[in-house]
């Protein structure tokens, strides 16, 4: 079998050194991973950071994330809650991933449409217009009731980033007080 020169003293010394090295390496890994952000001193300043840190997300709309120290961050959903009695989006929903062809659908009161249409624009993170077009009513738009609308936007592939889809209320008068828009945050796939 094995024969150690010098007896058990060398074996004891080797085991002691191995245990010391194991503890040293474990300590270094602990400190390293603590520095990477598993620290309690991690500063959270947005909904996305809160979720990434593993905090719970409440079943609410918009979704809310709560940190261990009680801070609450809401997911950005645009201004749809402010305009829900006038216009409602079916597709895309806030923070949805979209591709080169975007099918738009929803419903709006007839006052949002002029001649059964209104304009829609797609912006990138830098506020550049990526695509623009119109959505068209699918039934009689001359009503104050909700009218379904549809439209399609085609755009070229851009780097993955956040943007927003904006549907403008038709404003044939051009008066500032009649100007409204629904902004829906999106992500480009």
| Confidence check: pLDDT of 37 > 50 | no
Q: Is residue 102 packed enough to be buried (19+ CB in 10 Å), middle (13-18) or exposed (0-12)?
A: buried
Residue 32 lies in a domain: no
Let me know if residue 131 belongs to a domain: yes
Q: What is the residue range of 115's domain?
A: 87-188
Residue 45 falls inside a structural domain: no
Identify which of 121, 136, 129 has the alpha carbon closest to the alpha carbon of residue 181. 121
Task: Let me know if residue 22 belongs to a domain.
Answer: no
Residue 76 counted as domain residue = no
For residue 27, being part of any structural domain is answered with: no
Count of structural domains within the chain: 1
The answer as to whether 74 is a domain residue is: no
Question: What share of the chain in percent tops pLDDT 90?
Answer: 69
Higher pLDDT, 158 or 8: 158
pTM: 0.74
Q: Is 101 a domain residue?
A: yes
The string of pLDDT tens digits covering residues 72-123 is 999 999 999 999 999 999 999 999 999 899 999 999 999 999 999 999 999 9
Q: Which long-range contacts (CB under 8 A, 24 or more apart) does 9-15 make?
A: none
Confidence band, pLDDT 50/70/90 cuts, at residue 169: very high
CATH number reported for the structural domain that contains residue 142 in this entry: 2.60.40.2550
């Amino acid at each position: 079998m094995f024969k150690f020169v010098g007896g058990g003293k060398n074996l004891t010394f080797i085991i002691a050194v191995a245990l010391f090295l194991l503890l040293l390496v474990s300590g270094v890994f602990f400190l390293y991973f603590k520095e990477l952000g598993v620290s309690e001193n991690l500063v959270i300043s947005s909904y996305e950071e809160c979720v990434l840190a593993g905090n719970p997300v409440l079943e609410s709309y918009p979704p809310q994330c709560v940190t261990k120290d009680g801070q609450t961050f809401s997911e950005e959903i645009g201004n749809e809650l402010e305009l829900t009695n006038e216009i409602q989006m079916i597709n895309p929903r806030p923070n949805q991933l979209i591709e080169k062809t975007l099918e738009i659908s929803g419903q709006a009161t007839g006052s949002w449409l002029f001649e059964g249409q209104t304009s829609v624009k797609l912006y990138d993170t830098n506020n550049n217009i990526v695509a623009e077009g119109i959505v068209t009513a699918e039934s009689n738009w001359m009503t104050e009731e909700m009218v379904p609308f549809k439209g399609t936007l085609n755009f070229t592939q851009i780097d993955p980033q956040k943007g927003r889809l904006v549907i403008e209320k038709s404003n044939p008068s051009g008066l500032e007080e009649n100007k409204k828009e629904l902004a829906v945050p999106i992500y480009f796939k």
